Structure 1
């Protein structure tokens, strides 16, 4: 029976002797939860970890896309689409997209994530030329006036290549190289980092009836296999981050289970990107049908992710998240 190790993370000034620092970051742990399929979880001292598991957890995460992984960072969402679930059509015009990018930079974004294809439930594919037209010129325009790191949110190698040539620093693939495996080759050739996200099904079908044997361990296994695939494509581990894909082929209970045990993904040895901003499960729990009104719930879940060591927060509401993160870190001593 396989063991999975989830560090029970803490922060603050009362750090006991012998506590281990997670990935060179702001949290530490003295104990680990051991998960096994079909078995009751067990808590063990961190000192009892197998050597390879300990190495994966404590090895410092290197800077990625010019972002330090020693502190939580904010990725501002820039959708240049007409049909995204929250802000579709607002920034599909290049001038408005650039204006919004400037505002997010002023509000404290550490990185911008530019996407030209909606991956909301039920969304249709966008052809390569159109997705490229929506993204590459915007990336080029941002890069012409700012050095801020930029990621391209795409499943497609052709779009990723154009974006990297336009000045993008990171490939953010919601299909984790399963939709278009050549995206791994493009990323490796550019010596760029990649974010691998879990999703069950495609945008048209993913919310029909998602099922898992054990959602936490199933997502972990998928991401572990995708990390290995990325490394086989020539992308080293220190240029790979992972995303549990909250809301992508998951029910409310699946989302909550993943968020409650998010820190298990640190055992992959990669930084974690968490994207929960304005998502449907927040509206369900908060009784808020309007996506644009879900900022408070989005910030609350983002901070819970930071407490579990998530290095990158992908958000719509940059200014509010920056303020909340600043205060959270001040009062928790992170």
Structure 2
């Protein structure tokens, strides 16, 4: 199934979802885009670098300061409205597990709900369906929002991911979400350890084979850091290696901090596979 978020000019290439966090305590950027002007500048830079989707979040994924729905809305909704005014045709995602926050964000201009906590709020997918916007179906193994995994076990993590995300995808469509605006996300690090993350990469072709467009959020994750033995600020090469592997196997979208680097990896992988053309070819021709 072709994703409705694909780039019409490059339909064979995965797209990049740029991360813009309006949080003071993000695990990677430590609040670099918490200020509204910094967040808007990050959006501008991501668009120039080639992002097709901007993902705006207002709550750190991991444990930390409590942020209620009112504060979360105050962080993301006005920013979404400003981005929508600046970019009328841009796909804007709201990263939230709360249905009331998603409803306000959609009314402000969001066109995709990135539910990273796998339907913890059962009304969230209904809100996406009522507004007929996109929806990301995640897998957490039943984890509670903002908790870290502890001694998690799956008989077969890939089978569990496929079962949970495809069931949620079917529910999303039943609720009114357009079929081509659904993503399934294996959701690395959420309810999983590093061995699970690597197994998902190793067998990502099985998730792609479900027919649902696959979104992967690999960017600077702990499973990358543990695999290569690097702290959070030194995980870009590992992230890009995992991105190239996944792009070559048909993943449709990547959520990323480093937009330009991710765009280049996707294009190079596509060119090797023959699904994309080089941007400029003059060597040996002129």
Alignment TM-score, normalising by the size of structure 2: 0.89
Match of 1:224, SS state, is helix
1:281 aligns with 2:223: yes
Instruction: Say whether 1:216 aligns with 2:158.
Output: yes
- Taking the aligned partners of 2:148 and 2:73, their CA distance within structure 1 comes to 24
Q: What is the count of residue pairs matched by the alignment?
A: 271
Secondary structure, aligned partner of 1:131 = helix
2:2 aligned with 1:61: yes
Q: Which residue of 2 aligns with 1:138?
A: 79
Aligned Cα root-mean-square deviation (Å): 1.7
Aligned partner (choices 13, 18, 41) of residue 76 of structure 1: 18
| Aligned 8 A contact 1:67 1:149 in 2 | no
Q: 1:108 aligns to what?
A: 50
User: Equivalents in 2 of 1:108, 1:74: separation in Å?
Assistant: 7
Counterpart contact for 2:22–2:39, Cα < 8 Å? yes
- 2:197 pairs with 1:255: yes
- Whether 2:122 is the aligned partner of 1:181: answer yes
**Residue 47 of structure 1 corresponds to which residue in structure 2?**
none
Aligned-pair CA distance for 1:197: 0.8
The counterpart of 1:295, out of the listed 224, 229, 236, is 236
The answer for the alignment partner of 2:188 in structure 1 is: 246
Q: 4+ runs of 1 displaced by more than 4 Å?
A: 66-69
CA distance in 2, matches of 1:100, 1:76: 9
Check whether the contact 1:79–1:88 (CA below 8 A) recurs between aligned residues.
no
**Cα offset, 1:328, TM superposition:** 2.4
Does residue 1:232 correspond to 2:174, yes or no? Answer: yes
The whole-number CA distance in structure 1 between the counterparts of 2:257 and 2:192 is: 21
Q: Unmatched 5+ residue regions in structure 2?
A: 276-286
Partner of 2:137: 196
Query: What are the superposed Cα offsets for residues 166-201 of structure 1, whole Å, 9 maximum, x if unpaired?
Result: 111111101232x21111221111111101111131
